[in-house]
């Protein structure tokens, strides 16, 4: 298969495997999603979903969060990892949302990326999942699978995102990035598949015998 043929097959097959694409992080609005995505850096979604109910019971709006002392936020999120840094970022971004955005999460990539603790991937997730704006956030699962499937060279996540956006229809980006994540967790895992084991890898490369060494982003 050529690269575009591989991409088309992947898009079709993942839609069959995952017709529904629920957001993995529990949230009630754009602000709670923003906080949850920030917490998910170097932390599993499952762990974040265990932590956020306690945090959001204390504060689930920028106004309420800005009233909390950083140590209080840190205590609530301590099991997520990088808690001191994340707690400070949550407190600061809450104040910025109040000061500069009338207490609302901006539906604007550039404005989101200016918030403390919010990088391009976090901003992309919020744009896609809170506001429905087409985006293709690249996490470790997507970066790994895109290399195994021959869709990118994998030099970095910026290149991977650019390559995937060229291969897939824009209207599919938001659902597809979640479907790739789901498949990466279920079937094409970091240790359970090396590019020769799972259904999609075997279909795309039936003659592949050598494991694919993936590059970190």
- Token digits for 99? 């000061």
Catalytic one of 8, 139, 172, 215: 139
- In the DSSP assignment, the letter for residue 182 is H
Q: Decide: residue 170, CB within 10 A, 0-12 exposed, 13-18 middle, 19+ buried.
A: exposed
- In the DSSP assignment, the letter for residue 186 is H
Catalytic one of 60, 86, 121, 163: 121
121 an active-site residue?
Answer: yes
Distance CA 71, CA 90 (A): 11
Closest CA to 86 of 99, 71, 100: 71
**Residues in Cβ contact with 19 at an 8 Å cutoff, skipping those fewer than 6 apart:** none
139 an active-site residue?
Answer: yes
Closest CA to 90 of 111, 69, 110, 107: 69
Q: What SS3 class is residue 152?
A: coil
Q: Which residues are catalytic?
A: 121, 139
């Amino acid at each position: 298969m050529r690269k575009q043929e591989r991409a088309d097959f992947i898009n079709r097959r993942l839609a069959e495997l995952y017709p529904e694409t629920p957001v993995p992080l529990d949230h009630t609005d754009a602000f709670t999603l923003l906080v949850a995505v920030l917490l998910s850096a170097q932390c599993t979604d499952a762990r974040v979903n265990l932590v956020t109910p306690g945090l959001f019971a204390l504060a689930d709006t920028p106004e309420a969060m800005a009233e909390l002392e950083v140590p209080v936020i840190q205590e609530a999120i301590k099991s997520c990892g990088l808690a001191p840094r994340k707690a400070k970022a949550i407190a600061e971004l809450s104040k910025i949302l109040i000061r500069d955005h009338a207490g609302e999460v901006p539906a604007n990539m550039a404005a989101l990326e200016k918030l403390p603790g919010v990088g391009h991937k976090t901003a992309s997730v919020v744009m896609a999942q809170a506001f429905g704006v087409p985006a293709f956030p690249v996490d470790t699962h997507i970066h790994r699978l895109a290399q195994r499937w021959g869709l990118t060279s994998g030099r970095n996540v910026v290149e991977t995102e650019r390559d995937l956006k060229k291969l897939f229809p824009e209207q599919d980006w938001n659902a597809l990035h979640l479907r790739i994540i789901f498949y990466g967790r279920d079937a094409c895992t970091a240790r359970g598949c090396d590019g020769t084991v799972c259904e999609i890898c075997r279909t795309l490369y039936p003659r592949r015998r050598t494991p694919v060494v993936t590059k970190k982003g």
